[in-house]
Amino acid sequence: MFLSERSVWPYRYRYGSGPLVVSMPHVGTFVPPSIARTLNDCAARRPDTDWHLPRLYDFLGELDATVVTASFSRYVVDVNRPPDGANLYPGRDTPRLCPTDTFGREPLYRDGDPAEAEVRRRVDTTWEPYHRRLASEVERVRAKHGVAVLWDAHSITAVQPRLFEGRLPDFNLGTADGTSCDPALARSLAVTLQRHSGYTSVLDGRFKGGYITRHFGSPASGVHAVQLEMVEAIYMEEEPPFAFRPDRAARVRPILRELLQRAHDFAVNQSAARRVEASSRSP
């Protein structure tokens, strides 16, 4: 029954030997036929996809970063939500672990939302493999360097009344209110963005980091997690067919490259400091 589902791996993976791990949990578009046939036509457009991020972040190989990207659409299961479906923003309307409508409140399902057993099946077959790979890569990088920086990359439409009021800043850094990474790293990234006066930015504003940032971020253990939620309009068209805009991207990509270089350099410096500290303790 789920043969076509098993033919597509839940994630794509690029090995890197550097201290950066980059996660892109919402770039996937695959929906298995067993699920697609239960969805309304609005789902075919995949409007809530984080479009074109791998293309925008095409410099990650130059930083020797490890990259994990989702293959399945968030409409199957959202790998940036807790597996128990808990709301990360209490009091706010946020999409579910297995979304039942689009951000624009269009119902996704024709004949009723997925049953609990189906939700658990999707967690087992799609959510769990993504997180096992991400966890193993973060640990591999941390073990090698003594420190790892996990960068969780996202994008969203500039105006989304369901989720926030007004227009979202162009760049939205999230560090779970300063708990998921070293404050020095957060400040460095925020200052970097502030220097680019043609764009707006904020640290720990509306988006403070999803499950991935909050779950993996553990500065005391050497894992620093940062989420970047970026407005789609600064690099693409926000209306179907969601076209990539090379002219806009050419202005944004150097900023992203600068941010990731900052994160990389922070990790390298932290790694060196840990080696010095360890050697000083040796007899």
CATH code of 268's domain? 3.40.630.40
| Tens of pLDDT, residues 37-52 | 999 999 999 999 999 9
Q: What letter would DSSP give residue 181? A: S
Residue reference for tokens 């479009």: 51
The whole-number pLDDT of residue 111 equals: 92
How many degrees, rounded to 5, is the angle at CA 167 between CA 70 and CA 255?
60
For 196, list phi and psi in degrees, rounded to 5: -95, 85
Q: Domain range spanning residue 78?
A: 3-281
Identify residue 172 by its one-letter amino acid code: N
Angle in degrees, 0-180, between the axes of helices 183-194 and 246-281, rounded to the nearest 10: 150
pTM of the model: 0.95
- pLDDT at site 20: 98
Give the pLDDT band of residue 277 (cuts 50, 70, 90).
confident
Mean pLDDT (the chain, rounded): 94
Question: In this model, does residue 7 exceed pLDDT 80?
Answer: no
Q: Which long-range contacts (CB under 8 A, 24 or more apart) does 159-166 make?
A: 160/103, 162/93, 162/103, 162/104, 162/105, 163/92, 163/93, 163/94, 163/103, 163/206, 164/206
**The residue type at 66:** T
Write the burial class of residue 283 (CB in 10 Å: 0-12 exposed, 13-18 middle, 19+ buried). Answer: exposed
Q: Hunting for tokens 């949990």 — which residue is that?
A: 25
- Asked whether the beta carbons of 227 and 210 are under 8 A apart, the reply is yes
How far apart, in whole angstroms, are the C-alpha atoms of residue 189 and residue 182?
11
Distance CA 29, CA 51 (A): 9
Residue with token string 């020095």: 184
Is the pLDDT confidence value at 116 over 60?
yes
Taken in order 136, 137, 142, 148, the sign of the CA dihedral is negative
Task: Answer whether 172's CB lies under 8 Å from 202's CB.
Answer: yes
The mean per-residue pLDDT over the stretch 95-112 comes to 94
Q: What is the pLDDT of residue 1?
A: 38
The pLDDT tens digits of the residues spanning 209-243 come to 999 999 999 999 999 999 999 999 999 999 999 99
Q: Please give the share of the chain, as a percent, with pLDDT higher than 70.
A: 96
Q: What is the C-alpha to C-alpha distance for residues 258 and 19, in angstroms, rounded to an integer?
A: 16
- Residue 273's pLDDT is 86
Helices then strands, each counted (H, E), the chain: 8, 7
Asked if pLDDT for residue 3 goes beyond 50, the answer is: no
Split into its structural domains, the chain has a count of 1
d(CA 182, CA 225): 9
